[in-house]
Amino acid sequence: MDEPLKRHVCLGCGFLYDEALGLPEHGIAPGTRWADIPHDWVCPDCGTPKSRFEMVELPYASAEAAAHALV
């Protein structure tokens, strides 16, 4: 069973990285796990290093919303 996709928040500015959405505009495909993002990656909004992000549990509104996010 695959582990659910997670979200990570920047402690510098509050930017939210959602594994389901990725950051295609920054070369990170939807579904990219946090562990697969390079260690030298920084927040696209404020430049905070990856090490200053924390995983947060924010459930999707519904399973349908989560499925839509992957499309």
State the residue range of the domain holding 25: 7-69
Per-residue pLDDT averaged across 44-56, rounded? 97
What integer is the mean pLDDT of 5-28? 96
pTM here is: 0.77
The CA-atom distances, in angstroms, between 24 and each of 1, 39, 62, 68 are 26, 18, 23, 16
pLDDT at residue 71, rounded to an integer: 46
**CATH number of the domain that residue 49 is part of:** 2.20.28.10
Residue 65 lies in a domain: yes
Question: Is 1 contained in some domain?
Answer: no
- The Cα–Cα gap between 13 and 26 comes to 18
Q: Kindly tell me if the per-residue pLDDT of 64 is higher than 70.
A: no
Average pLDDT, the chain: 87
